[in-house]
A and B are shown apart, each in its own frame.
Chain A
Amino acid sequence: MTSAILTPDQPDELEKASRVVSALVTTERVVATIALVVTLVLILLQVTSRYIFNAPLGWTEQTARFTLVWLTFVSGGFVMARRGHIAVDLMVDRLGLKSKRVVNGFSILTVLIASAIMTLASVQLALATMGLKLPAAGIPVSLLYLAVTVGFLLIFVHGVLSTVFDLRHRKKPTLETVDGETGAA
């Protein structure tokens, strides 16, 4: 298991070492937190408009779903900064240090390739849907798909950053999951 569990508001080693990374992670946190609060407000607006003002608003649900998509992908990037994405540790725990490095190298390479392809795929989709709007909320559809682009771009960037950092510092094996912070079962 991890040696120390960070609470999500504490900076990790990489953030302490680089101001750019620290600024990036802070931006992700703020954007994702705002998306969460906006989602909450929209849901409450929907209820109050229906019961208190007796005039249900048409755009709240669609806009809330839109912010949820952004919340998901931006926080997905943030989770990557902490290597917090849920993974199965079963096999790797039994390997020696060297094989562990190989497996982790393969794992991070897979993450980088897949997220690069997804970034391109979502850009393609955003371009293809230019000009379309979500019917009730009037938000451009491209903006919805841009969330996917941003999410995978962030995963890619954090993947590269932490790999470079680890290689320079030759820390112990990477990709530790922080149990207790992830998982919503």
Chain B
Amino acid sequence: MDELVFFINRGVISGLITGCVYALGGVGITLIFGTMRFAHFAHGDMMTMGAFISFLIAGALSAMGVVLPIPLAFAIMPISMALTAVAALGIERSFYAPLRDRGAKPVTMLIASIGVTLMIQGLIRLIFGSGTRDFFGGTEVKEIFRIPTTMFGGTRPIVLTEPQVLMFIATAIAVIGVHLFLSRSRLGKAMRAMADNADLAQVSGINTKMVITVTWLLGGALASMAGTMLSLDVNLRPDLAFNIILPIVAAAVVGGLGSAYGAIVGGLLIGFTEALAVFNWTAVLRPLQPYLPFDLPANLAVVPTEYKITVAFVILVVTLLVRPTGIFKGAST
């Protein structure tokens, strides 16, 4: 039983958290690709930007002595999402839209987004310094839930932190929200139509400029959410999400570029696989030791933790070989 608890704590929960972050980031990447046909490399830094905006607001409230039953960063997340959405639209209007209007190729757009990456990171370092910050350094404490497993014969509890629980709930709400938006609303359907066939969307009289605007607002809001939750779970650094942009892009590609559902599935798939790949299987296999002809090593993981990033690429390569359009047959052209 304790082995199972260990597996849940280190495998399932860890995978779910990473998966949630990848999924929320991936949805933004995939929608931006769908409507504008370019890989938005700066999306990770938009997540970081959102996290710092949350940090700023939460810090200010904390300094004013505001105390809430949930972490402040969570309570103010809607404000941070709105601000990041506006910032994302500002970046689009100042950098990407002028290039697109002049007929820039996708690769030019990609390079422009690398420029935006450097700019956002530089700005964050300029304002906040390059050190690591923690939401829970001050008055706030990270509450930890221990779910006892004694009734199932276990001795160790399942450990969950409050930010983790809130993160699962928030991601679930966001995913349902995105689903309802894309499947029910007129604009959401137009967004899917543009991802499916941009020329036909234009011919149908769909206001493509408005769809692009909404795409950036949605992508920015989800990025802020992912960034804030990631920084609550670990800590806040200027390169917080830059380090995970590659698995996030992989999530979007694996799911099928242009498909929001694909990005969610791809994100969770990559998150779980990463967690299980670095999971120490010895801990789970130890009860079987008497039946095994060899001694279990102290650490039996598929890949060492420092090579975690390769997992996303293995999945990416396999997907591109077996099903080049991704799980949900996205628009890969």
**Does A associate with B in a complex?**
no
**Footprint of A on B, CB under 8 Å?**
none
